[in-house]
Amino acid sequence: MGLSKALVLAAAVGCAADEVPPSTAADSATNAPDVAGTITGANVVTIRARDFAFEGPTEIPAGLTTFRLANAGPDIHHAQIIKLDEGKTGADFAAAIKAGGPPPSWARVAGGPNVPLPGHESNATSVLAPGNYALVCFVDTPDKVPHLFKGMVHNFRVVPASTPVAPDPTPTTTIDMKDFAFDLPITLAAGAHTFRVVNSGAQPHEVQLFKMMPGKTMRDLQAWAHSLAGPPPAAPIGGVVALPPTGHAFFTASLEAGDYVLFCFFPDPATKKLHFDLGMMKTVKVS
Ligand SMILES: [Cu+2]
């Protein structure tokens, strides 16, 4: 992952927080339901994000784990899980990203909750193996400086657990991420959903779910992501940050009737384009 991802992700989801005062954001967030449900057997870890820090545990038992991201704002944030080789820290990762060049070989993306509106929550659930990790935030509003350079780095260690790993939940819907498309039904029923997100591509992919403002379309969001002109046509309501190839995770959301759009902001190394411009965006109608 590179800064271009951070810049565009922030561009696409950041100005929502930038341009909408918190009270208005909270009001419009009847569009943006919070965590809909819990995953049976998962250890729940609450991460609090604010400008510009994460608060959360530094030691987590291995196994099926739900990260709940509570964004205290006022800016927007996500929580990308990074698996680090022993001896490396989140600060090392931030320094490597800041230095540019290819992603360091000692760090691998591992999902995590994607962007909710300020004052709201998102969640992501996956199996954590023992080892050395960090949470980072690539969002770079309001000044184009990614939040991981401002302190949004949180180191944690996953320690072996004595209990068996809980089974994966049964999803209501599967989102298959490919190079470069989202494969899922184009219509969904309103209500609580447990999404299974699987990366069957060769590159890392993420899913950021948006609820479109009335009358706005996926093309409006795509155009806005490039131009940043005017108010954002959609509200971010969570998803899963970058997963590695073959990786999978779950997130829950309560969907109201309306049009939703899925975006992947990850950059393609060959073309330098962002995955949504290569086809990783999709409209889903909820009724
Ligand atoms: Cu992608």
**Token representation of residue 30:** 């009847």
Tell me the C-alpha distance between 96 and 15, whole Å: 26
Q: Which structural domain range is residue 263 located in?
A: 3-286
Q: Three-state SS string across the chain, please?
A: CCHHHHHHHHHHHHHHHHHCCHHHHHHHHHHCCCCCCCCCCCEEEEEEEECCEEECCCEEECEEEEEEEEEEECCCCCCEEEEECCCCCHHHHHHHHHHCCCCCCCEEECCCECCCCCCCEEEEEEEECCEEEEEECCCCCCCCCCHHHCCCEEEEEEECCCCCCCCCCCCCEEEEEECCEEECCCEECCEEEEEEEEECCCCCEEEEEEEECCCCCHHHHHHHHHHCCCCCCEEEEEEEEEECCCCEEEEEEEECCEEEEEECCCECCCCCCEHHHHCCEEEEEEC
Instruction: Find out whether 159 and 276 touch, Cβ atoms under 8 Å.
Output: no
Each residue's pLDDT, cut to its tens digit, for the chain (287 residues) gives: 333 343 333 333 333 333 333 333 333 333 334 455 678 899 999 999 999 999 999 999 999 999 999 999 898 899 999 999 999 999 999 999 999 888 899 999 999 999 999 899 999 999 999 999 999 998 877 787 899 999 999 999 999 999 999 999 999 999 999 999 999 999 999 999 999 999 999 999 999 999 999 999 999 999 988 887 778 899 999 999 999 999 999 999 999 999 999 999 888 989 989 999 999 999 999 99
Instruction: Tell me the two tokens of residue 163.
Output: 């209990």
Residue 24 alpha carbon to ligand 1 centre in Å: 31
Cα gap 213→197, rounded to integer Å: 24
How many A from CA of 235 to the centre of ligand 1? 20
CA of 201 to the centre of ligand 1 (A): 8
Dist. CA 203 → ligand 1 center (Å): 7
Characterize 26-57 residue by residue with b for buried, 16 or more Cβ atoms within 10 angstroms of its Cβ, and e for exposed.
beebebbbbbbeebeebbebebebbbbbbebe
Distance 178 CA to ligand 1 centre (A): 7
Cα(135) to centroid of ligand 1, in Å? Answer: 20
What residues contact residue 63 under an 8 Å CB cut-off, 6+ apart?
42, 43, 127, 128, 161, 163, 164, 165, 166
CA–CA separation, 184 vs 207, rounded Å?
12
**Neighbour count for residue 229 (Cβ, 10 Å):** 8
Which domain CATH number covers 45?
2.60.40.420
Q: Give me the pLDDT at residue 36, please.
A: 52
Report d(CA 65, CA 162) in Å as an integer: 15
Cα 175 to ligand 1 centre (Å): 12
**From ligand 1's centre to the CA of 241, what distance in Å?**
10
Structure tokens at 285: 């109608």
For the record, the structure tokens of 142 come out as 């309001």
Quote the ligand 1 centre to 69 CA distance (angstroms): 22
What is the CA(276)–ligand 1 centre distance, in A? 7
Taken as a whole, the chain contains a residue count of 287
Domains identified in the chain, total number: 1
Provide the token pair at 250: 């779950």
Peptide bond into 33 cis (omega under 30): no
- CA–centroid distance, 159 to ligand 1, in Å, is 30
Cα 47 to middle of ligand 1, angstroms: 25
CA-wise closest residue to 45 among 28, 30, 31, 64: 64
CA 11 from centroid of its chain's CA atoms: 14
Give the pair of three-digit tokens for residue 8: 């565009």
> How far is the centre of ligand 1, averaged over its atoms, from the C-alpha of 196 (Å)?
16
